[in-house]
Amino acid sequence: MKPLTTEQIRAVIAKGKFRDNLFKAIGVFCLAFALLVIVALIADMLLKGAERFTLDFFLNFASRRATQAGILSAWVGSLLVMLVTALAAVPLGVAAGLYLEEYAKRNWITNIIEINVTNLAAVPSIVYGLLALGIFVYMFGFGQSILSAGLTLALLILPIIIVATREAIRAIPAMIREGSMAVGATRWQTCHYHIIPYAMPGILTGVIIGLARAIGETAPIITIGALTFIAFLPPVPFSEIDGGGSAGLFDWVMSPFTVMPIQIFNWTSRPDPAFEVNAAAAGFVLMVMVLSMNAVAIYLRYKMRKNIKW
């Protein structure tokens, strides 16, 4: 091969640079397209649903007449289900993460648990619904209740919280542990006074992301048979019940319920276009809930990355 002349080299470079620029344009286009779709999605729901953003919409039950229908039972249901989910998933997830990072010996049990957590994260959410249908609804007899739904979503987000906890703990340098142990603290005292507090921001991020995922989940809750038309609220503790007597402290967990995503699904599937407006408005509310939770978590994470210097 004869060495290339300067002109030939320049031609090769010009061609390469042209491809660079072409790719850059395609890259910007793809990125802009993905972002644009989201903007379109939010704008569409906001504009279409604008007429429903009244106090009544938040305070009315579902109704056959689109203009009178509201999301009261849906958002109350979502909040209560989230409460159960958080109460179940946070202690379990943090404890499991703590065990795997601080206690577990390198043996087959630990290996199985680790492989298991990784694989669970990839199981489709509807499969959790089937699990809950078989175990919580029928075997345990919890029925189609807030408890069943909350526990289902808790299992669904458990891997997220475990992984977040482990990552947060792993970021704590060994010297903290050694320092604590060196003054005679037991393993649990070390965890209690040092590891858990230091890992808290990371754990919190994982919890928020997990709950944001859970609040938007529809499929597993439909699978356990949540009702779509609920025109009442779960009993408030110690309130009077229609049939006489008063509700117990935990009666609400066994109550039938609906949640935001199911309400949206219900309205989206109706042929009457008037309900599209409701679906758009409810969808926008759900988006605001989920995106603000995620935004808080992402903000926390970026802040943490910048601030923590051991």
Partner 1 sequence: MSANNASDLPGVSDRLAYNAMRNWKERLIETVLLAAAAISVLTTLGIVYVLVSESFHFFQNVSIIDFLTDTQWTPLFDDAHFGIMVLISGTLVSSGVALLLAIPMGTIIAIYLSEFANPKVREVAKPILELLGGIPTIVFGYFALLVVTPILQFFLPSLPGFSLLSAGLVMGIMIVPYIASLSEDAMRAVPMSMREGAFAMGSTKLYTAVHVVVPAAISGLAASYILGISRAVGETMILAVAAGMQPNLTWNPMEPAATITSYIVQVALGDLPHGSIGYQTIFAAGLTLLLITLVFNILGQWLRAKYREAY
Partner 2 sequence: MQIHDTPTLKAEARNLNFYYGEVKALKSINMPIYDKKVTALIGPSGCGKSTYLRSFNRMHDLYPGNRYEGEIRFYPDNTNLLSPEVDPIEVRMRLGMVFQKPNPFPKTIYENVAYGLRVRGENNSRVLDDKVEQALRGAAIWDEVKDRLQEMAPNLSGGQQQRLCIARALATDPELLLFDEPTSALDPIATGAIEELVHELKKRVTILIVTHNMQQAARVSDYTAYMYLGELIEFGKTDEIFIKPQDKRTEDYITGRMG
- Establish if 34 lies at the interface with partner 2 (CB under 8 A): no
Q: Which is nearer to partner 2, 9 or 200 (CB)?
A: 9
CB 295 within 8 A of CB 208: no
CB of 3 to partner 1, least distance (A): 13
Site stretch for partner 2 (CB under 8 A), options 11-19, 63-71, 156-164, 243-251:
11-19
How distant, in Å, are the alpha carbons of 93, 144, 245, 252 from that of 148? 18, 6, 25, 12
Residue 303 interacts with partner 1 (CB under 8 A): yes or no: no
Alpha-carbon distance of 129 to 4, in angstroms, equals 66
Question: For partner 1, which is the closer residue by CB, 80 or 280?
Answer: 280
**122 sits near partner 1 (criterion: CB under 8 A):** yes
Rounded Cα gap, residues 284 and 53, in angstroms: 10
Contacts (CB under 8 A) with partner 1, residues 13-52: 13, 16-17, 19-20, 23-24, 26-28, 30-31, 33-35, 37-38, 40-41, 44-45
When the beta carbons of 1 and 122 are compared against partner 1, the nearer one is 122
Which of partner 2, partner 1, none binds 283 (CB below 5-8 Å, type-dependent)? partner 1
CA 211, chain centre distance (Å)? 4
Q: Is 78 exposed, middle or buried (0-12, 13-18, 19+ CB in 10 A)?
A: buried
**Cα–Cα separations (whole angstroms), residue 268 to 69, 264, 276:** 14, 6, 6
Q: Which of 5, 12, 212, 237 is close enough to bind partner 2 by CB under 8 A?
A: 12
Using CB under 8 A as the binding rule, whether residue 1 contacts partner 2 is answered as yes
Which residues in 146-185 contact partner 2 (CB under 8 A)? none
Binding of partner 2 by 16 (CB under 8 A) = yes
Region binding partner 2 by CB under 8 A among candidate stretches 8-16, 26-34, 53-61, 96-104: 8-16
- Closer residue to partner 2, CB minimum distance, 1 or 183: 1
Rounded to a whole number of angstroms, the minimum distance from the CB of residue 138 to partner 1 is 6
Choose among 193, 214, 194, 217: nearest CA to 93: 214
CB 238 within 8 A of CB 247: yes
Q: Does 202 bind partner 1 (CB under 8 A)?
A: no
Q: How far is the CB of 294 from partner 1 (least distance, A)?
A: 4
Which candidate, 183, 211, 207, 196, places its Cα nearest to that of 101?
196
Phi and psi torsions of 226, nearest 5°:
-65, 145
Residue 98 in contact with partner 1, rule: CB under 8 A: yes
> Binding partner 2 by CB under 8 A: which of 5, 9, 23, 247?
9
Q: Count how many residues are written for the chain.
A: 310
- Dist. CA 293–CA 213, nearest whole Å: 10
- Geometric angle at alpha carbon 293, from 292 and 294, rounded to 5°: 90
Residue 250's closest CA among 154, 142, 95? 142
59 binds partner 2 (CB under 8 A): no
Residue among 61 and 99 whose Cβ is closer to partner 1: 99
Q: How far is the CB of 10 from partner 2 (least distance, A)?
A: 7
170 contacts 195 by C-beta, under 8 angstroms = no
- Residue pair 222/262 in contact (Cβ under 8 Å)? The answer is yes
Q: What is the DSSP letter of 54?
A: S
Which of 13/274 has CB closer to partner 2?
13
Q: Which residues bind to partner 2, rule: CB under 8 A?
A: 1, 3-4, 6, 9-10, 12-13, 15-17
